[in-house]
Structure 1
Amino acid sequence: MSGRYEVKPGMMPFGSCLSNTQADQQVFQIDENFIHYRQIKLLARAERLSKYYQTYNYSQAVAGAIACLIINRLTQEHPQYFDCQKSSANTWRFHSYLTQETLDLDANWQLQQVKTPDNLATPTYASILDALAAQVQEDLTVICRSQNASNWLSAIHLCYPNHWSAEAKIGQDFAAIHAPVAGMEKINRRADAIVNTMIDREPMVRFAWGLSTDTRLNHHPEPPPEISVSQWHGRSFDSQYPRLYLRIERQVIWGLPKYEAALFTIRTYFRDCSAIKKDSVLRSKLYTAIESMTPESLAYKGLVESKASILQWLNSV
């Protein structure tokens, strides 16, 4: 909306009114596309779970606290879809009415048993984080901090990657994770302070955007075996048959200072640029934002070859 492409933290208090009524108060946003989002996750898991789900130095205490947070938010935000009850003195039973899956957990919020209808997730859930990720439309990551203030990506469940991979990032610290991002140099110099904010401060929300020529959720750098690299990669704008979308990520950061950790959720949305093009104000903002990108940002976003044709299309009648 500034008409400039900027790389900045852009964190706002969670729950800030963004004209989305109740959805602004939700960590986990559920909509009419739930079945599609879940199917993409199931396909990714079936392809190779370790390609999309990784953990590193992810303690049982942190894993339990993250699971408890996710379940509490789901049952509070969507009581019509999720239920969690104590099944005995030391166990819990979590049920999703969307997937008809029931997860039995022990006193430490660790997965004990899964009851599922015929469309059983394959492979079987590896952990409570893996199981809960299959119940929502967000990707999930967890960052942890040690007593000496070092930090690392401790868990990641990333079935909707935007040209990056879980295997490449797991175990890295904030600065290393974001080193390839063009324009991140100033932010990375404050990496430790940003991680401290993520863990110690009140929950926050931020947004990131880029351009895509399709609405495929899974853009892992490595295509599945049966699909060619060129077909999988995307980001190829055809001015004769123009398809262009804003790929928007809503990211929620929820700190758990007691556990020296934070949950970071990523919800992906698409907005058709043909609709934006019809609004003179939005079209102008998008045009100048693309025009303002540095050569490094254009390369990072995969827009070097298509920038001129995209701008020409935006300006055409």
Structure 2
Amino acid sequence: MFQAAQTPYHPYETGRYTVSAGLYRLGSQPIEGRTETHTFSFDQTYPAYIAAKVAARNRALHEYYALAGLTPDLREAGLHFMAHTAAHDSRGVLTWDGQTLSNRALGWAGTLDLKRGTLERLQRCSAPHAHIVQDVTPLDALDFLAMNVQEDVSLLSRRGGSDHLAALHVLLPEKWNPLDKIGRDFVTVHEVVAGSEAMNRSAPKLLDAILSRGPFARFVWGVTASERLDHHPHAPPEPDLSSDPAQWFLRAERQTLHGFPEAGGALFTIRAYIYPLAAHLDTPHRAAALAAGVRSMTPAQLSYKGLTQSVSPLLAWLDARARVDG
């Protein structure tokens, strides 16, 4: 059913860590030598991602899913795009007939009212991974659609000269709380990100581009001792994380942005990829590039990425790996 392994992304290969828009135009600008058109990724890790989403919502769904001033037009545009595009990108795992989204992996089908944003009917049947969602009852159409994809999703509203995050369904966040972001504008959302000043100064032009000249993809990355997907600040702490960088992971996020100018907003998706460092750094160039990228981080960026205490052993391991492999 899921034949493809996780796509290998190497956003650190420039050898410099930056906080910028870094937009690739989907369908025309190559990403690591390949042209990508998909929004939603379906691969062999699909069951694990859906299970992680279920665990997060079981812990405290209200801390991951929130709405604020979501207009009916933007809601309908976002829901229609998600249903149609997820079915297309899934290559048969999902089907959408304009009213009902069916998932042959999870064994459920949701009949949706896109104008009202409601889940009108939920049907279940046997399927390879039906047990993962057997106790899940989605709240509405957005909640249901987001539980069928590996990506987290948000909707940005922009009308006139103002913008705000109108919907967040983010069950796998990287050390941030969706409730701190909902209802806030682009600059406020990103001002806590170390090194984001230049990007925030260009926010009006960036938002214009997102709404009218996309769709786009972009990437962010970091190094972590954990392979857990959900790093909500209120999630239970992880015991006994390894202090050996050889056991650590690269977390790369592929984000897409799709504008709906007539509806006054855009859909933003986040797909996290977790790669074991030892396997992912398969050439001396990549080990050296990641070391250079970490060295380029400011003290504030190291702190934001949670690397202040571990940067020395990480760099020593990366340097040794680059030399040995070379």
Q: Normalization by structure 1: what TM-score?
A: 0.89
- Mapped contact 1:276–1:283 kept (Cα < 8 A): no
The 3-state SS of whatever aligns with 1:35 is helix
Show CA shifts across 1:141-196 (max 9, x none).
Answer: 1100123x100001011111000011111000000000111110111112222122
Structure 1: segments with no counterpart, 5+ residues: 87-91
**Separation (CA, whole Å) in 1 of partners of 2:246 and 2:114:** 53
- Mapped contact 1:45–1:122 kept (Cα < 8 A): no
Q: 1:126 to 1:107 in 2, by over 3 A?
A: closer
Identity %: 29
Show CA shifts across 1:252-297 (max 9, x none).
Answer: 1000001011000001102222134451111111111111111111
Q: 1:196 to 1:252 in 2, by over 3 A?
A: same
Answering whether residue 155 of structure 2 is matched by residue 142 of structure 1, we say yes
Give the counterpart of 2:30 among 13, 17, 41: 17
**Separation (CA, whole Å) in 1 of partners of 2:313 and 2:78:** 45
The 3-state SS of whatever aligns with 1:25 is coil
**Separation (CA, whole Å) in 2 of partners of 1:76 and 1:20:** 23
1:98 matched residue in structure 2: 105
2:267 matched residue in structure 1: 263
**Separation (CA, whole Å) in 1 of partners of 2:113 and 2:41:** 27
How many equivalent residue pairs?
302
**Counterpart AA for 2:105:** L
1:107, distance to aligned residue in structure 2 (A): 6.0
Q: 1:307 to 1:84 in 2, by over 3 A?
A: same
The 3-state SS of whatever aligns with 2:230 is coil
- Mapped contact 1:237–1:306 kept (Cα < 8 A): no
* Mean CA deviation greater in 287-296 or 250-259: 287-296
- Mapped contact 1:247–1:271 kept (Cα < 8 A): yes
Matched ranges for 1:178-197 at <5 A: 178-197=190-209
1:123, distance to aligned residue in structure 2 (A): 5.3
Answering whether residue 301 of structure 2 is matched by residue 297 of structure 1, we say yes
RMSD of aligned Cα (Å): 2.0
**Counterpart AA for 2:147:** A
**Counterpart AA for 1:255:** G
**Separation (CA, whole Å) in 1 of partners of 2:114 and 2:214:** 27
1:130 matched residue in structure 2: 143
1:102, distance to aligned residue in structure 2 (A): 0.9
1:121, distance to aligned residue in structure 2 (A): 5.4
**Separation (CA, whole Å) in 2 of partners of 1:175 and 1:19:** 29
1:21, distance to aligned residue in structure 2 (A): 6.0
**Separation (CA, whole Å) in 2 of partners of 1:267 and 1:4:** 22
Matched ranges for 1:154-303 at <5 A: 154-223=166-235, 227=236, 229=237, 231=238, 238-239=243-244, 242-303=246-307
Give the counterpart of 1:30 among 2, 17, 42: 42
Q: 1:302 to 1:237 in 2, by over 3 A?
A: farther
Answering whether residue 123 of structure 2 is matched by residue 112 of structure 1, we say no
- Mapped contact 2:24–2:30 kept (Cα < 8 A): no
1:43, distance to aligned residue in structure 2 (A): 1.1
